[in-house]
Amino acid sequence: MLCRLGLASRNDLAEAQSAIYHELNSNNDIMLGLRSELQQLRTESTQLRAACFIARREAQSMGAVLRNDLRSLSAMIERQDSQTGRKTIRICIVLPYAYSLFNSSTSFLFGGSEVRAWILGRALAALGEIEVFFAVNDHGQGPLETWDKVKVYRATSLLAKILPLPAAMWPEGRYIDLLRINEDLVYEENLSYITNTDADLYCVFGVHNMAAEIMTLCHREERPVALFIGSDDHLAGASSSDSNSRDSYGNYDSYINYTLKAADLIVAQTKHQAELLRQGVGREAVVLPNPIDLDDSPLPGSRTTAPAPVCLWIGKSDPVKRPELLIDLARHLPDFQFLMVMNISNSDIHDRILAEAPANVRIIERLSISEIDTLFRQASFLVNTSRFEGFPNTFLQAGKFGVPIVSLNVDPDNFIQLNECGHVAGGQIESMVEWLRSIVADPDRYAQLSSSVYQYVTDHHELTHIARMLNRILLDYRHQIEPTETVAAEQRLLKLVQ
């Protein structure tokens, strides 16, 4: 065997085996070294890819900042008003469900915030110093339409009705990033409603989860946001910045707190709201009364004839508006007629009201603005049973047609009691019953109340006057922030060229 292997002795065999063993060990060390080097290369490759990704995102971000700076600088030159020295500006009101107010051939539900924004937006556009955009949901309309000098941009698809909120309010494409509001992750969708409208100021109405999301996205794009306060209850969570509790409509208190603190400009409806905001988060607000167009319908004004026992209630089927209390009132007043415009919000409450309504209650589920005006002309009283409000548009509509207000609790800035515009019942249904019976029996007193509520709305809420106030507020705000923006933009451009 040794001879066949070419070995002279067993010692030669042992030496050969030892040599092979050492060679194998050496090869194994080489393999381990190569494996370690390969792993190091993989690690460096991963780090390089991450660095490239970060650099790419930083470049994109810097590009966006520089584009905004260039836009701002050019806009400051191009939009100079030669007569007044002021600059025209562009605002975008982000309000998904406002489209049906522009196009009455559609019938999507809207509420008080939509009506308030729609009235203000059209009036601002008519004044001519501010270009007004609305960003609304996709209701089958064109990508960009013009209504009464207002440009209405189609911002989303109907997919927003299917996906969970607040992450999917603007799903025009894939989710492209993650942002944080306090400690909560918020998906950032396609920002076309910001980039395509290219506004100087974005406006949100109401303090809610979606407002917080919109504010975060706008601020990432270095666009200021004006917040128009809605309900007083939106201010109740102002001191709960870390709270996971929710308000009456399911909005997180932490999101409410973030929105109130992050807004660049805050517009309140009443002095009471401004004081709540000051106490809650130490922010100041501009007080802008809600507007009403007194010239868009026939027969506005105070009543001079004896009142018919007809009461109007307008709201949603939810625990805040409390439609069940209107049903209770109707049972106490079987000789009165009640017109109830009740949009579906909570289906259980809605079905219960439909089932329990007595014969003297007529329920209507949805109406256009013009149809609601017709109901105000038919009614002698407006009834409100809400737990809280801001300044309801229905109060203004009542004043427009000289309809006294009967409110269970709500009295913004105490205007009903101070100006004898109706009756505030202090939470007592019995007080509402007694007052309504007494006024129906006293035509002269009714005429005084009708005249008072019409005069109050005319003096304090006339649309053109309010629109001019808001026009001045927005132009002054833009004038205040422009110098700071100019300096920041110039500094960033200077760093780039250096």
DSSP letter string, 299-324: S-S---SPPPSEEEEEEESSTTT-HH
pLDDT value, residue 218: 85
Whether 164 shows a pLDDT value over 80: the answer reads no
> Which residue, of 288, 319, 338, is where some domain finishes?
288
Q: Which residue has the higher pLDDT, 143 or 266?
A: 266
Q: Say if residue 320 is in the same domain as residue 411.
A: yes
pLDDT value, residue 272: 93
Give percent of the chain above pLDDT 90.
42
Q: State mean pLDDT over 223-236.
A: 86
Grade residue 497 by pLDDT with cuts at 50, 70 and 90.
Answer: very low
Beta bridge partners of 381: 311
> Is residue 489, in this structure, part of any structural domain at all?
no
Q: Which residue has the higher pLDDT, 43 or 355?
A: 355
Grade residue 26 by pLDDT with cuts at 50, 70 and 90.
Answer: confident
Of the candidates 202, 201, 228, which has an alpha carbon nearest to the alpha carbon of residue 88?
Answer: 201
Residue 128 belongs to what domain range?
Answer: 89-288
Whether 309 shows a pLDDT value over 60: the answer reads yes
Q: Say if residue 397 is in the same domain as residue 275.
A: no
pLDDT value, residue 62: 55
Q: Say if residue 247 is in the same domain as residue 102.
A: yes
Q: Say if residue 242 is in the same domain as residue 327.
A: no
Token output for 220: 């990432």
Please give the tally of structural domains in the chain: 2
pTM of the model: 0.73
pLDDT value, residue 466: 95
Q: Say if residue 228 is in the same domain as residue 134.
A: yes
State the number of CA atoms in the 13 A half-sphere of 273 facing the CB.
29
DSSP state of 334: T
> Is residue 39, in this structure, part of any structural domain at all?
no
pLDDT digits (tens, 9 = 90+) for 391-437: 999 999 999 999 999 999 999 999 999 999 999 999 999 999 999 99
**CA 245, chain centre distance (Å):** 19
Query: How far is Cα 337 from Cα 138, in angstroms, rounded to an integer?
Result: 39
pLDDT digits (tens, 9 = 90+) for 53-102: 555 555 555 555 555 554 554 455 444 444 444 447 899 999 888 888 88
Q: Say if residue 164 is in the same domain as residue 198.
A: yes
Whether 160 shows a pLDDT value over 50: the answer reads no
CATH value at residue 409: 3.40.50.2000
Whether 161 shows a pLDDT value over 80: the answer reads no
User: Highest mean pLDDT: which of 95-104, 110-119, 122-131, 301-310?
Assistant: 122-131
Task: Give DSSP secondary structure letters for 122-162.
Answer: HHHHHHSSEEEEEEE--SS--SEEEETTEEEEE---GGGGT
pLDDT digits (tens, 9 = 90+) for 245-282: 777 777 777 788 888 999 999 999 999 999 999 988 88
